[in-house]
Amino acid sequence: MNKHLIVSDEIHDFLADNSPHADPSPLPWRLEDVVRGLRQSREHAQKIRFHGEVRELPSGEVMGQIMEGLAAVLFPTHYGRPDLSEESIDYFVGITLHATLTQLFEQVRRGLLFNASPGDTSDHKHAAREIARRFARQLPDIRAVLVADLHAAQQGDPAARSISEILLCYPGFRAVLNYRLANSLYLLGAPFLARIISNLAYASTGIDIHPGAQIGPEFFIDHGSGVVIGETSIIGQRVRIYQAVTLGAKSFPVDEEGQLIKGKERHPIIEDDVVIYAGATILGRITIGRGSVIGGNVWLMHSVPPGSRISQADNQSH
């Protein structure tokens, strides 16, 4: 048998016992050639490993645990334990934060190691520790912005009866919570982890916010499914958007070799007090002026001045 193939008797027994057509005879998979072919693909024919080396990758599962811990630290009785008292809440926050930051430190270290150049001898442990410490110090300010987002949701949705309802029932707020934390890590130098956090929110809410986007306070996403906010988007204060809104790029410039040029400003600027209704698609580095209202299903690729009211019919004349 190939030395890289390890078949556990316990796994075989589990599969046999739990199969809807359990058969006491051994499963005749004959996997040696399959495993050998996969190794050939992995190591030679279709090798895609970063820098060609085995790396300690961050874990999506652990990042999910970290996000639950951070949510509990920020809003202890809603995302932590509802039975907390005035005497126990600080202890809960402290012990949860300590455990969560310990996990975060290791994931940041792995992310830095993954992004390092070949031969890099940097002290990734020291860098990861500093990022985790600086991130922790930002948590009170992040919570303050999230509370402003909560009030914007309560004021912007007549169906919202309480802050607790928004915290527990609104996918838009949970996506924004993930974004605020991811954006902090992104700016502190942990972009890989920030993307994982954004993807966790997307998987659970259907809302895709790139952690590199700049989003001001009192931001509200109503309903939310299908919302896409690109990397270089800039969103001001008191902006409200609805489901299936896209803030995307109009084109993707390439270099002389035909490779995409990364990092160019290619997404919209949304100024303060803008409302964007369901299904609107806004593309390119254009500006939506302060106080504008963009109607449902509008396709917009040109800037509009402050106070504009854009509907499908209005937009067809451009």
Write the pLDDT tens digit of every residue in 222-276.
999 999 999 999 999 999 999 999 999 997 777 777 787 777 899 999 999 999 9
Q: How far apart are the first and last CA of the chain?
A: 69
Residues 194 and 157 in one domain: yes
- Select the more confidently predicted residue: 41 or 22: 41
Residue 31 pLDDT greater than 50, yes or no: yes
Residue 12 pLDDT greater than 60, yes or no: no
Q: Cβ(212)–Cβ(187) under 8 Å?
A: no
Average pLDDT for 189-194: 95
Share of the chain above pLDDT 90, in %: 71
Amino acid at 238: R
Question: How would you classify residue 82: left for phi > 0, otherwise alpha for psi between -120 and 50, otherwise beta?
Answer: alpha
Domain assignment present for 116: yes
Given 201, 234, 269, the domain boundary residue is: 201
Domain assignment present for 239: yes
- For residue 304, what are the β-bridge partners? 288
214-215 β-sheet, strand order: 214-215, 234-235, 269-270, 287-288
Number of domains in the chain: 2
Q: Which domain holds residue 129?
A: 54-201
Give pLDDT, residue 52. Answer: 54
Average pLDDT for 77-82: 95
Write the pLDDT tens digit of every residue in 127-165.
999 999 999 999 999 999 999 999 999 999 999 999 999
Look up the CATH number of the domain holding residue 230.
Answer: 2.160.10.10
Residues 146 and 189 in one domain: yes
Rounded to 5°, the CA angle 239-245-247 comes to 75
Residues 76 and 193 in one domain: yes
At which residue do the structure tokens 């809960």 appear?
92
Residues 253 and 314 in one domain: yes
Residue 88: helix, strand or coil by DSSP? coil
Amino acid at 13: D
Residues 190 and 70 in one domain: yes
Average pLDDT for 278-303: 97
Domain assignment present for 122: yes
Residues 254 and 145 in one domain: no
